[in-house]
Amino acid sequence: MGLKLMCVVAHPDDECFAFGGALALAADRGIETYVICLTDGQAATNRGDAATGAALGAIRRDEFRRSCEVLGVTQHELMDYQDGRLESVEFPAAAGRLVERMRQFKPDVVMTFGGDGGLNTHADHMIASMLTTAAFHWAGQEKRYSDLGVPHKAKRLYHLTAKFPIPDRPTPMMMPWTVTLDIRSVQKRKTEAFREHVSQAPLMERTRDFFAKYGAEEFYTLVATDVPQPARHTTDLFDGLS
Ligand SMILES: [Zn+2]
């Protein structure tokens, strides 16, 4: 059995602008990937030609699918939570849906945002982080959600972090990273995936200089693992796993 990576995000485009390098690198190594996006992005500032929230949601669902295809994502799913409202989801139920998928897919590695909410400190990103972190632990525990499949313990949980804040935006309280990913070999693909989000083109424009300067690397922090160890720095999310 090959390695498997699960990634949980909040909005269509998170999968590429935040995690695109890690996902494309995994695809190149034949690692199976599953991206879960919790909302369809109806509350976005950039709305393209969409007249209603529902229309924007439909457009962004399609953009998400195309972006995942560019990144070589094996399996992707867009859930039905309200964009901008993840704070008010019923926590145990939403985490349970992730537990169920973790038990079905059986990832070795899970990744999501950090508790800071990522570079733009979005509250939806924070809640995605907390739901995924809870689900990661609960998926392996027999007493939790015993009606939602056989317990599965993924081996590692990573949170996304960053080395530099985006200028003119609120500065997140960034976690120290333990993994520096050199994504130069897939950087073009990450940009191409971002381009599939046509409705978010103004965002791409605004962040162009930032990604040109810092886009060769992604940063992650190992936040949970089955092997007790001191924090150490690596350059691979899967080092030592086979
Ligand atoms: Zn987002």
Domain boundaries of the chain, sorted by first residue? 4-225
- pLDDT for residue 43: 86
∠ CA 54-59-65, nearest 5°, is 125
Q: How far does residue 130's CA lie from ligand 1's centre (Å)?
A: 15
Q: How far does residue 227's CA lie from ligand 1's centre (Å)?
A: 31
**Per CATH, is 4-225 categorized as 3.40.50.10320?**
yes
How many other C-beta atoms are found inside a 10 Å radius of the C-beta of residue 88?
10
- pLDDT for residue 189: 97
Among 157-166, 173-182, 204-213, which stretch is predicted with the lowest mean pLDDT? 204-213
In this structure, which residues have their CB less than 5 angstroms from ion ligand 1? 10-11, 14
Q: How far does residue 160's CA lie from ligand 1's centre (Å)?
A: 12
- pLDDT for residue 48: 87
What residues have CB less than 8 Å from 158, skipping those under 6 apart?
A: 109, 110, 111, 112, 179, 220, 221, 222, 223, 237
* Mean predicted confidence (pLDDT) in 20-43: 96
Stated pTM of the model:
0.96
Q: Is residue 131 over pLDDT 90?
A: yes
Distance, first Cα to last Cα, the chain: 9
* Mean predicted confidence (pLDDT) in 69-76: 98
* Mean predicted confidence (pLDDT) in 220-225: 98
Q: How far does residue 229's CA lie from ligand 1's centre (Å)?
A: 32
* Mean predicted confidence (pLDDT) in 11-24: 97
